[in-house]
Structure 1
Amino acid sequence: MAEYKTLLFATDFSEGASSAVDQALSLAQLTGARLHLYHVITELADKRRRFIPADVIDTFITEITRHAQEDMQAFHDRHFAKASFPVTTEVEVGTGYEDILAEADKIKADLIILGTHGRTGIEKVLVGSTAERVVRNSKVPVLTVRD
């Protein structure tokens, strides 16, 4: 088995992410690696925000970040509170897969773990696939877990 010291688990708190929890738990327990839970708030990437006053955007960013941090804490408590290995968390505002890759570089992750939604057809074309982009552009191995 590869030697893992740091695992990056990128989550959107969806069922697909929950399906990947077992894999993240197992790998961290087997290897003793630190598990870093990471969430990117992407709702703010919409180009229409340029028409919204800056003070409104700042308030919105503060509120949505607070809610995401609460969601992260709940996700951590539900799945990782009794972990026998180090678990850290991070919530950031960003645009998606680039932020996941940057976080992997920043924390020197040996593996990225993410759940996938299994979108197909026009939905995949319109929505895109964060997991696919991470896989295509990552410098480190990526474990995807389908929901």
Structure 2
Amino acid sequence: MKRILVPTDFSKHAEYALKVAAQIAKKNDGEIFLVHMLELPTSGNDALSTAHEIPELMLFKNAAVNKLDAIMDADYLDGVKISKIIQFEMAFDGIVKNGKAHNADLIVMGSHGANGFQEMFIGSNTEKVVRNSEIPVLVIKRDEETFSASKFVFASDFSDEAKKPFEKAFDFAKSFGAHLHLVNINTPNNFKSTKVAQQTINDFLAGTDTSNITTHIYNDVNVEKGILHFAKSVDADLIGMSTHGRKGLSHFFNGSISEDLVNHAKRPVITFKI
């Protein structure tokens, strides 16, 4: 994890994410790209077309520069190579584009979650980045004074399409010296006997070094609750899973377990795109 992108809206949750990113950067001799997006007003045909708007935009930009400079003076960033980026763009679009442009290995974002109608109809920028990013996204919900991934729970259905994100999770676990808890959540709607579920996991892991891996089969009413309850049972430091990146009607009707976890989990969550 050498190149870490950290979006900020100057909130306390964004600072939580930056603190974690600083710890990861120090551990891996990495660098941080600190990004702030200035979202343009959507009224009119062209937000930059009228001259009277330009001084106001520059005022916002200068204020953002000053805030970023103040953040970069924080003690927890001492010794970390850090670059600041300010752009006029919709937040989640700019975050995804900058992740690709700077060849980031990881995006670290803060989130307070979203609930009720906000979650259903609007969602959070973090949720949108999780849905669209090809780069792993680590979501931080609270102040992690000492970030640890020692107990890393990774939930999977152990299908063929889950192998690529699992490999990324496996590499992430190795970089942190983490013990990987692989879990299959058994639900009433998709029930497998223990024998069948364990064989599926064994076949999935064939040829993998399992010296620092424990496998589990956990029964619950649905996958999201199963992951949260299992993570609590092993006192996990981090929850990981893959995301399909569903969009449009498919996302509305089917939802996305990884995005639900981003909204509802208190523990850090990392997602890997299938």
Higher RCO (CA-CA < 8 Å; seq separation 6+) = 1
Aligned partner of 1:7: which letter?
I
Offset from partner CA, 1:3-34 (integer Å, 9 cap, x none): x2210011111011112122111100111111
The structure number with the bigger radius of gyration is 2
Q: Do 1:80 and 1:87's aligned partners in 2 also have CA atoms closer than 8 Å?
A: no
User: Where do 1:1-147 residues align within 5 Å?
Assistant: 4-42=1-39, 44-47=40-43, 54-78=50-74, 81-82=77-78, 84-125=79-120, 127-147=122-142
Q: Could you tell me how far apart the structure 2 residues matched to 1:11 and 1:135 are? A: 16
Between the aligned partners of 1:52 and 1:99, the Cα distance in structure 2 is: 18
TM norm structure 1: 0.86
Q: Deviations over 1:110-131 (max 9, x none)?
A: 0001101222112334653100
Bigger helix share: 1
Quick check: 126-135 or 73-82, which moved more? 73-82
Q: Percent identity?
A: 25
- Shift in CA distance, 126/47, structure 1 to aligned 2, threshold 3 Å: farther
What TM-score comes out, normalization by structure 2 length? 0.48
Determine if contact 1:21/1:79 at 8 Å carries over to the other structure: no
Distance in 2 (alpha carbons) for counterparts of 1:52 and 1:9: 27
Q: Aligned partners of 1:49 and 1:59: how far apart in 2?
A: 19
How far apart in 1 are the matches of 2:19 and 2:77?
14
- Contact 2:36 2:87 (8 Å CA) reproduced: yes
Q: 1:78 Cα deviation (Å)?
A: 2.5
Aligned residue for 2:51, secondary structure, equals helix
Asked whether the equivalents of residues 19 and 76 of structure 2 are also in contact (C-alpha less than 8 Å), the reply is no
Report the more deviating stretch, 28-37 or 70-79.
70-79
Deviations 1:86-114 (Å, cap 9, x if unpaired)?
11111111111011011111110000011
Larger displacement relative to structure 2 (110-119 or 71-80): 71-80
The separation in 2 between residues aligned to 1:24 and 1:88, in whole angstroms, is 13
1:146 Cα offset (Å): 1.2
Question: After alignment, is 31-40 or 19-28 more displaced?
Answer: 19-28
CA pair 111-10 structure 1, distance change in 2 beyond 3 A: same
Is the 8 Å Cα contact of residues 28 and 35 (structure 1) preserved in structure 2? Answer: yes
Please, which runs of 5 or more residues in structure 1 have no aligned partner?
none
Alignment: residue pair count: 142
Q: Distance in 1 between matches of 2:33 and 2:47?
A: 35
